[in-house]
Amino acid sequence: MKIGIFDSGIGGVTVLHEAMKRLPNEEYIFYADLDHVPYGVKTPEEVIGFVDNIVADLVGRGVDAIVIACNTATSVAAEYVRIKYDIPIIGMEPAVKPAVEASNSRVLVMATPITIRENKLQNLLKKVDKDHIVDLLPMPGLVRLAEAGIFEGPEVDEYLTEQMAVINKDDYDQVVLGCTHFTYFKSAISKFFGGKVGLVDGNRGTVKHLAELLGLELFDGDLSHDMIYNVTYVESGRNVTAEAALAKYAGLHARLDQE
């Protein structure tokens, strides 16, 4: 099957990576909306417009299903495109439920400002945070750092320290990575919390959901060089063909294998 996976930027590669490992026999188109990243600080109406264009583009490329590999886009635009297009569309939401279940103290959800403000997350919290142990923290700066290829080092550490000045890090034993870009910062975030928290992302659950929806069997494998270069990478509607740009995506896959 031909599967389209999209995000505002490179965050979605973390979902693509998981999908390629677990569903290695499918064909993938990965779409990053680099002309409009970051989504998380834009208006919901703007994001709906971007997502509408991307879904139309992917449908035009003949995909059988689409994964919105972006919590922000899902929270404001998933319903809109599901009604408009006659194709299976899977969204993502912060993996709050497994984090709450695993926690013995408090849970911190990091996400973009839109995801934190929108009803979708608030409704999820009403369902799964019965004991009010979840706190929310916007971390928009991590998206910018990820797009600049900065995943660790003093700039990341300073940003984490600055943003987390409003919380007491010892209160938490689970941290939800509620934005796909944040997966690249697992090491830096874990280091910030002194290695004492569980980091929960929604990537595995999303791919499981995709497999169930399409009736596909899940595997547990590694990515080969050939698989990485067999993906069609698209940036805001333009196919990526330049060697250097393709190497950037290969580098991201390699990095995710280390995280």
Which residues contact ligand DGL by CB under 6 A?
7-9, 11, 37-40, 70-72, 112, 115, 143, 179-181
CB nearer ligand DGL, residue 18 or residue 173: 18
- Catalytic residue from among 179, 189, 228, 234: 179
Q: Residue 27 is encoded by which pair of tokens?
A: 């064909």
CB of 149 to ligand DGL, least distance (A): 15
Is 110:140 a contact under the CB 8 Å cutoff? no
Is 3:64 a contact under the CB 8 Å cutoff? yes
- Catalytic residue from among 70, 108, 116, 252: 70
CA nearest to 78, candidates 63, 202, 69 = 69
Is 181:10 a contact under the CB 8 Å cutoff? yes
CA nearest to 63, candidates 139, 1, 13 = 1
CB of 73 to ligand DGL, least distance (A): 7
Strand order in the sheet with 198-200: 134-138, 106-111, 172-177, 198-200
Known catalytic residue at 39: no
Known catalytic residue at 125: no
Q: In 187-224, which positions are buried (b, 16+ CB within 10 angstroms) versus exposed (e)?
A: ebbbebbeeebbbbbbbbbbbeebbeeeebeeeeeebe
CA nearest to 47, candidates 15, 8, 9, 79 = 8
Closest chain position to ligand DGL (CB): 40
Please state, in angstroms and rounded to a whole number, the distance separating the CA atoms of residues 75 and 92: 8
CB of 243 to ligand DGL, least distance (A): 26
CB of 85 to ligand DGL, least distance (A): 20
Is 109:136 a contact under the CB 8 Å cutoff? yes
Q: Which residues are catalytic?
A: 70, 179
